[in-house]
């Protein structure tokens, strides 16, 4: 009897333990955990080393109140503490900090630098952690923007309103431009930040001169944005050049610090063209631009005299029957000021070429059916270029093909297309090179590896030390199954990457509601070789709720070469939809997908795709949620829009075919359209115009607005957005 | 055998006949038939006599291509045909008309006039149908607005842009104002068209002078409306003075035609006040205004010299602890230029008083717990005033009490509160008096009478002839049952009118989803003594779909006296909601109302009420649809808003209590909010601000926008709106 009781007790206990472990395994993720901006979201981002970076040849990161780091060959140690920083601040008569600030590296190319910079109380403070001393202190004003620090002369360039100024290390300010008329903007990024443009000031290598953009947009249409947060709503005029309309006119000035004079590059006529990818020659005597015609089918690498503004030479000219898209300034070899690296898709993939400054192509450095995604810098000896790219893994080339992987390579500058792999772990690598190029910090992840950070000795491609192995942040939670694979595009040949996210307890004999998450447009990739194949938090959430989630990167998406991406030219939507329908055909072949309950969701270009799919295949897609959607490309901006669609007057059929207002009468299922009321990218006119078209056509979309949000609903409201989207699918698709 | 067959055949036939008759009785109404703007809506408006009006002492109306009419004592005949009109037009060298135009009566007070006016091809043409001749022809320009014809001198006053001009009968134009600065508006209605103001020009009785408003709104906030119909959306600046903020400043000019000079009434300080209800003295020497302070609790009848602008006398001063609301200019007796009629709610109900021009009250003309709704004019002898009012029917006073009825009365000017009823049919009467006052056209309807039009001999209150008996437009259609009655307000004593609209085949043993349609605010009455008790087309539609529809005119609504309406003062929403909840208690007492499926719908003030009810009683109302809702009274305009709420700085508690953004977190049920994107009345900021508050509070309203619509969705899109609303209730309440 007693024995039996014991056994019973043990059974009870083990059942309890089992229940506890199941319960631990079954912890449920919420939107607050899965969506960026959610209260607990940061806990589920794979662990990082905070602020990991190089300062001189030492790497450093922040841990609590200390900054840790080391030279690669040395042991890691505390470089300084907050207390020490505060002592130095007090000594300099500056207020102390309550927690360690975000550090910048003001002398990033200096292999010996021990100076970190940070902003505090409207000052930028330079702190030498070796000397434990404040070495510089710049008082900044809150009205100043676009601050650009020059390592060489230690000046700041900055803008105030629409004009450009300098702040000297002594604290003196200098006026560089003095434009009085509204609509002329100096020292800021131009051309809608397309063509790789992210800023408007460019210091010369020795700091003797500053190149800057001047944009005249007086002739550009103003889109009236409205701020409803003020006591009475106020107008926020927003210059927005729409496809086919008058564009802005950009010029480049060169301000010489010694003379205080500005000369202007003689970029001439037509005034409507794109001046992109500004690069200084190492001797500061020349400026190299990549000039692009408004049609965006011809680019020229042009050299201008930085002293006279004269147009000196056109070194390279390239054209394409669809479009060219320069995104990278030329890069001079550190050891030879007469040679530079040129990036182009001319052979169909983004590759590197070595040119001399007479415009001669010396050799092709990389080649093949893969793309260079990033140029990291040069090796210590300067004989190799360190790059990231989608070239297949040298050991297991079948793994992570089709643009899923990122490996790092040393490209031999002396030879044609010879490169060595520097990264061996399978997956996606992202490197930070040390100033000398001798070492690197390698952030690597894969579908099963959340994050590993290795310290690499570059020359021998050797892992010196593993700095971090991040644990699985979802351990203990109920998780969906993620499957990837390829399917064939509508052209009958191209392989496309797809990702399926399945309910954890998927029963193949049941039928599940299925949602296609789509983007579809250029410059984007949804399915990656990264942690969990780049699955989105909302995909996880919906799979946990019993939906099948699906994404496929159709033709038109990024990192697969020019032909793959540019197939969308002049006919946005057509080939992208054809490939999404290949995805749908695949879904229908799966026993557990309920073909009568297929939905679709996407934002921006994906909002265009979602709406277009709902209207073009009203019997396939029962429910759609389209966010910030482009509805009519003639209401989109010139730089991005005309690249893919040409001007409306030159491509009336393509614009008509892609104008979703003309298809509003096809709406059959449930379509929820969502827009931010101050979206400066896809202006509100798009979705409002679509509503009007639906009212005219007697169809019934649903609608929601996120007030005070721009093109994306970000921050704390993003979980609300996803709850809203979830409810909509629950109401109509579940 | 044969006999049996015959019987069978008869049975089949009679069954068929029965089926046919049932089917005829069962015709179904759609939104296109029930909603204004719908394709077939006009067929269901009770039949009218088109353009019925007086011209001289003849009444006339349009039938096909002819204008019919007669002097009351004569037989009706064709007054003229389109062909005859066209002959006259051809003779005058003017283009002919393809159908009879809309006629105006330019000499409305002239008992002998036989002249009708109409607009054609940008001309106003005067046609004497007796002489069959064009007697005047004014060429108008499309840029001209606010045209105001003067019977006495036959000039037009008109505005072009923000300035005022005259057009002489000879076609000469004269500049009256020449304001150059944006934000100064002349000759247009001011003060947001409150206080009975509908226009900005006032001709003197003999046409020697023109009084006009000048409004300086340079200091008033501009609300940025946006037109999305243009190629790139454009700003439409809209001057909108918000409660508590700076208001516009209005003055009154008197332009003398003889001298071409304008003098300004010396209305003095403070500049922020309301100059309302302009009236000329019969001798043209004085102007009478009702001046109201910004606080709207004190009004003065003031006389100004029309020659010098001097403030001559304050004849009457009235104040109220809540508000006063002048809406009627004084009216001089036709036989005595020293006596006038004064309308005021001073005794609690809108009543009439006889005053002399020295400001002496001679006598009270009407009194009692009912309101004068309209002053029609004087009797032929000038000894009686003809009015419409809510006084109970003299024969069956219990019928149509509580403000439901409108009867017409002759008020004795010589005695205190003596009046005779001139209208005998039960219901709602609306009269048009002939110029002499001897005859009237009486449009009468009741809950069971769609429309009857009688020609009345006023003196004897005798029906000369019935001109029209409109048939039931819904005959042959399945119709709901409409019930009315009274219930007790939340104050425990006041009787409130309600209306129930019930499904045709109501089964009292079943439970029905029930929708409260609410307005709740001042100046409105939903339940009337009119045709079908004023039921709305959408109420009919929803009852036919199996819903119970309910409306109650709570305290705060119109035509029940000052105390009833003004109880809402400084605390909008509180008493109105209390009375709606009395309605809900009544609904819950009905066996067939499903208390778990109660919804609410309303627009404008009714949108405020709907939202407020959803947020205040989240367990009562499961579904709501709020259109063009006021969300925060501090974003509403000064004139209406401050009358009921005072300024935000003077009533912070009231504003806080009525600010629905602060209750956004209470939302539990399904609330669909709808707004026109160019609403100039309840600006878009209201509903957008509410969405933001809900996102902040993590609640989930639904939303829809009608692009290019103003405060109400009218025209062809109105059926779409009601389909949208219907689907929402069907999705969540049915």
Q: Are residues B567 and B654 in the same domain?
A: yes
What is the residue-averaged pLDDT of chain B?
95
Grouping H, G, I as helix, E, B as strand and the rest as coil, residue B633 is: helix
What residues of chain A lie within 8 A of the CB of B221, using their CB?
231-232
The gap between the terminal CA atoms of chain B, to the nearest Å, is: 53
Asked if residue A419 is part of any domain, the answer here is no
DSSP single-letter state for residue A221 = P
Give pLDDT tens digits for A295-339: 999 999 999 999 999 999 999 999 999 999 999 999 999 999 999
Neighbours of A507 (CB within 10 A): 9
What backbone phi and psi angles, to 5 degrees, belong to B340?
Answer: -145, 165
Of B626, B663, B403, nearest in space to B515 by CA: B626
Do B660 and B554 sit in the same domain of this protein? yes
pLDDT at site B726: 98
Chain B contacts to A (CB-CB under 8 A): 221-224, 226, 228-229, 231-235, 237, 240, 242, 245, 634-635, 677, 683-685, 688-689, 691-692, 695, 698, 700, 702-708, 717, 720, 723-724, 727, 731
What was the pLDDT predicted at B387?
A: 98
Q: Are residues B158 and B122 in the same domain?
A: no
Residues B34 and B171 occupy one common structural domain:
no
Which residues of A touch chain B, with CB atoms under 8 Å apart? 221-224, 226, 228-229, 231-235, 237, 240, 242, 245, 634-635, 677, 683-685, 688-689, 691-692, 695, 698, 700, 702-708, 717, 720, 723-724, 727, 731
- What is the number of helices (H) and of strands (E) in chain B? 11, 42
Instruction: Flag if B224 and A226 touch (Cβ within 8 Å).
Output: yes
CATH (domain of B521): 3.40.50.1820
Closest residue in chain A to residue B727, using alpha carbons only: A700
Q: What are phi and psi of A194, to 5 degrees?
A: -80, 180
Closest CA to B316 of B290, B350, B340: B290
Helix, strand and coil in chain A, % to nearest 5: 20, 35, 45
8 A C-beta contact, residue A404 and residue A391:
no
Whether residues B533 and B569 fall in one domain: yes
Residues of chain B with pLDDT under 70: 1-25, 396-401
For residues A729 and B296, what is the distance between their CA atoms, to the nearest angstrom? 51
Among the listed residues A401, A408, A400, the one whose alpha carbon sits nearest the alpha carbon of residue A374? A408
Alpha carbon distance B299, A24 (integer Å) = 74
Question: Which helix (H) or strand (E) covers residue A732, if one does?
Answer: helix A718-732
* Closest residue to A242, CB basis, from B232, B688, B704: B232
Coil vs helix vs strand at A439: strand
Task: Please check whether residue B431 lies inside any domain of the structure.
Answer: no
Which residue in B123, B523, B711, B720 is the catalytic one? Answer: B711
Cα B216 from Cα B223, distance rounded (Å): 16
Average pLDDT of chain A?
95
- Mapping DSSP to helix (H, G, I), strand (E, B) and coil, where does residue B30 land? coil
Catalytic residue among A604, A632, A670, A722: A604
Query: Are both B198 and B236 inside the same structural domain?
Result: yes
Quick check: B245 and A233 CB within 8 A? no
Q: What angle do CA A404, A407, A497 make, to 5 degrees?
A: 5
Rounded to the nearest angstrom, the minimum Cα separation between B131 and chain A is 48
Alpha carbon B638 to chain centroid distance?
A: 20
- Residue A36 inside a domain? The answer is no
- Of B329, B349, B380, the position where a domain reaches its end is B329
Query: How confident is the model at residue B532, as a pLDDT?
Result: 97
User: Which residues does chain B have within 8 Å of residue A691's beta carbon, measured at their own beta carbons?
Assistant: 704-707
- Give me the helices (H) in A434-528, please: none
Instruction: Centre a 10 Å sphere on the Cβ of residue A551 and count the other Cβ atoms it contains.
Output: 28
Annotated catalytic residue within A123, A238, A523, A711 = A711
Question: Which residues in B lie closer than 8 A to residue A706 (C-beta atoms)?
Answer: 691, 695
How many distinct helices (H) and strands (E) make up chain A?
11, 42
A6 vs A419, more confident: A419
pLDDT at B232: 97
pLDDT of residue B355: 98
ipTM of the complex: 0.93
**Residues ≥6 apart with Cβ < 8 Å to B74:** none
Whether B227 and B314 map to the same domain: the answer is: yes
B66 is catalytic: no
pLDDT at B14: 46
- The DSSP secondary structure of B715-733, one letter per residue, reads GGGHHHHHHHHHHHHHHHT
| Domain finish residue from A79, A107, A139 | A139
When pLDDT is cut at 50, 70 and 90, the band that residue A13 belongs to is very low
Q: What's the pTM value of the predicted model, to 2 decimals? A: 0.94
Cis previous bond, A270, omega within 30: yes
Nearest CA in chain A to B698: A720
Q: Are residues B80 and B173 in the same domain?
A: no
Choose from A227, A245, A636, A707 for mutation: most chain B CBs within 10 A.
Answer: A707
Answer yes or no: are the C-beta atoms of B291 and B299 closer than 8 Å.
yes
Asked whether the CA dihedral A281, A284, A288, A289 is positive or negative, the reply is positive
**Which tens digits make up the pLDDT trace of B458-493?**
999 999 999 999 999 999 999 999 999 999 999 999
How far apart CA A404 and CA B247 sit, in angstroms, is: 63
Q: Is B608 exposed, middle or buried (0-12, 13-18, 19+ CB in 10 A)?
A: buried
Distance CA B720, CA B714 (A): 10
Asked if A702 and B702 come within 8 Å (Cβ–Cβ), the reply is yes
Do residues B561 and B488 share a domain? yes
Q: Is B179 in the same domain as B218?
A: yes
Query: Looking at the domain assignment, is residue B350 inside a domain?
Result: no
Angle at B654 between CA B650 and CA B657, to 5 degrees: 145
What is the C-alpha separation between A717 and B697, in angstroms, rounded?
10
Q: What is the C-alpha separation between B275 and B302, in angstroms, rounded?
A: 10
Domain containing residue B514: 481-732
- Per DSSP, what are the bridge partners of residue B605? none
Give domain status of residue A190, yes or no: no
Q: What residues does A441 pair with on adjacent strands?
A: A432, A455
Q: By mean pLDDT, which of A548-552, A640-644, B17-21 is the weakest?
A: B17-21
Please check whether residue A406 lies inside any domain of the structure: no
| Contact predicate A683/A240, CB 8 Å | yes
A401 is catalytic: no
pLDDT at B9: 46
* B706 vs A contacts (CB less than 8 Å): 691, 695
Options B281, B436, B551, B604, the catalytic residue? B604
DSSP A150: -
Q: How far apart, in whole angstroms, are the C-alpha atoms of residue A725 and residue B213?
A: 52
- CA of residue B177 relative to chain centroid, distance: 31
CATH number at residue B293: 2.140.10.30
Nearest to A700 among B237, B242, B723 (CB): B723
CA distance A301 to chain B (A): 34
**B75 torsion bin: left (phi>0), alpha (psi -120 to 50), beta (else):** beta
Q: How far is CA A322 from CA A295, A325, A570, A643, B14, in A?
A: 10, 10, 8, 8, 76
User: A183 vs A163, A180, A678, CA distance in Å?
Assistant: 11, 9, 20
Interface mutation target, options A219, A228, A237, chain B, most CBs of B under 10 Å? A228
Share of chain A above pLDDT 70, in %: 96
Are B68 and B151 found together in one domain? no
Task: Sort A172 into a burial class: Cβ within 10 Å, 0-12 / 13-18 / 19+.
Answer: exposed
- Residues B113 and B153 reside in one and the same domain: no
- Of A312, A141, A284, whose CA–CA distance to A205 is shortest? A284
Instruction: Please tell me the distance from the alpha carbon of residue B677 to that of residue B711, in angstroms, as a whole number.
Output: 9
Residue B722 lies inside a defined structural domain of this protein = yes
Residue A504 covered by a domain: yes
Is the CB of B245 less than 8 angstroms away from the CB of A232? yes
User: Is the Cβ pair A233, B242 closer than 8 Å?
Assistant: no
A696-726 pLDDT per residue, tens: 999 999 999 999 999 999 999 999 999 999 9
Minimum distance, in Å, between the CA of residue A181 and any CA atom of chain B: 21
Please determine, for residue A100, whether its predicted confidence score (pLDDT) is greater than 80: yes
Residues B304 and B308: their CA atoms lie apart, in Å, by: 8
Cα separation values, A206 from A115, A155, A203, B125, Å: 19, 12, 8, 82
Q: Across the interface, do A233 and B717 touch by the CB < 8 Å criterion? A: no
pLDDT at A144: 97
Q: Is the pLDDT of residue A20 over 50?
A: no
In the residue annotation, A379 being an active-site residue is answered as no
**Residue B275 phi, psi dihedral angles, 5° rounding:** -105, 105
Number of domains in chain B: 4
């Amino acid at each position: 009897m007693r024995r039996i009781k014991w056994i019973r007790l043990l059974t009870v206990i083990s059942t309890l333990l089992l229940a506890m472990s199941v319960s631990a395994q079954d912890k449920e993720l919420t939107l607050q955990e899965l969506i960026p901006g959610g209260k607990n979201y940061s806990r589920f981002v794979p662990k990082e080393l905070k602020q990991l970076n190089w300062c001189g040849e030492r790497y450093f990161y922040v841990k609590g109140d200390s900054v840790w780091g080391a030279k690669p060959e040395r042991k890691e140690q505390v470089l300084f503490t907050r207390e020490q920083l505060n002592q130095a601040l007090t000594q300099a008569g500056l207020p102390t900090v309550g927690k360690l600030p975000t550090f910048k590296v003001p002398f990033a190319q200096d292999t010996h630098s021990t100076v970190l910079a940070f902003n505090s109380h409207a000052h930028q403070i330079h702190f030498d952690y070796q000397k434990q001393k404040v070495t510089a202190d710049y008082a900044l004003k809150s009205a100043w923007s676009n601050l650009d620090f020059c390592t060489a002369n230690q000046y700041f360039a900055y803008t105030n309103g629409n004009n450009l100024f300098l702040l000297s290390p002594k604290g003196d300010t200098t006026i560089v431009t003095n434009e009085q008329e509204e609509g002329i903007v100096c020292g800021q990024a131009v051309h809608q930040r397309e063509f790789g443009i992210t800023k408007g000031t460019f210091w010369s290598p020795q700091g003797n001169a500053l190149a800057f953009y001047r944009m005249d947009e007086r002739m550009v249409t103003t889109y009236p944005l409205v701020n409803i947060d003020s006591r009475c709503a106020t107008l926020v005029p927003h210059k927005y050049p729409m496809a086919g309309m008058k564009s802005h006119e950009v010029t480049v000035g060169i301000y010489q610090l010694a003379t205080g004079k500005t000369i202007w590059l003689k970029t001439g006529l037509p005034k409507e063209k794109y001046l992109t990818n500004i690069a200084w020659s190492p001797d500061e005597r020349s400026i190299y631009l990549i000039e692009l015609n408004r049609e965006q089918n011809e680019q020229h690498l042009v050299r201008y005299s930085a002293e006279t503004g004269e147009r000196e030479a056109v070194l390279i000219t390239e054209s394409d029957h669809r479009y060219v898209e320069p995104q990278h300034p030329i890069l001079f070899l550190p050891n030879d000021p007469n040679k530079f690296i040129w990036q182009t898709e001319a052979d169909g993939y983004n590759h590197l070429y070595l040119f001399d400054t007479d415009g001669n192509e010396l050799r092709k450095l990389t080649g093949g059916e893969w793309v260079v995604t990033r140029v990291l810098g040069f090796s210590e000896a300067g004989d190799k270029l360190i790059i990231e790219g989608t070239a297949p893994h040298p050991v297991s080339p079948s793994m992570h093909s089709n643009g899923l992987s990122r490996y790092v390579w040393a490209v031999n500058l002396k030879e044609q297309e010879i490169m060595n792999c520097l990264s061996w772990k399978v997956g996606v690598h992202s490197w930070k090179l040390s100033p000398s190029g001798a070492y690197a910090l390698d952030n690597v992840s894969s579908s099963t590896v959340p994050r590993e950070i290795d310290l690499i000795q570059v020359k021998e491609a050797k892992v010196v030390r593993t700095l971090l192995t991040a644990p699985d942040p979802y351990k203990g939670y109920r998780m969906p199954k993620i499957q990837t694979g390829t399917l064939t595009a509508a052209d009958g040949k191209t392989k496309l990457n797809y990702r399926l996210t399945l309910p954890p307890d998927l029963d193949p004999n049941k039928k599940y509601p299925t949602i296609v998450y789509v983007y579809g447009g250029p410059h984007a990739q949804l399915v990656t070789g990264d942690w969990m194949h780049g699955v989105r938090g909302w995909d996880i959430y919906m799979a946990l709720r019993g939906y099948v989630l699906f994404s496929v990167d159709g033709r038109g998406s990024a990192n697969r070469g020019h032909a793959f991406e540019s197939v969308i030219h002049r006919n946005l939507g057509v080939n992208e939809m054809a490939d999404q329908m290949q995805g749908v055909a695949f879904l229908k072949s799966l026993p557990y997908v309920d073909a009568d309950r297929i939905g679709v969701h996407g934002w921006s270009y994906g909002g265009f795709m979602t709406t277009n799919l709902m209207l073009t295949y009203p019997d396939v897609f029962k429910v759609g949620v389209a966010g910030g959607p482009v509805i009519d490309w003639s209401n989109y901006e010139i730089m991005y829009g005309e690249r893919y669609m040409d001007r409306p007057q030159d491509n009336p059929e393509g614009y008509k075919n892609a104008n979703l207002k003309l298809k509003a009468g096809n709406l059959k299922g449930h379509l929820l359209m969502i827009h931010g009321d101050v979206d400066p990218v896809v202006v509100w006119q798009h979705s409002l115009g679509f509503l009007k078209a639906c009212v005219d056509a007697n169809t019934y979309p649903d609608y929601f607005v996120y007030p005070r949000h721009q093109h994306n609903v970000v921050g704390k409201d993003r979980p609300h957005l996803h709850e809203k989207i979830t409810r909509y699918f629950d109401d109509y698709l579940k």
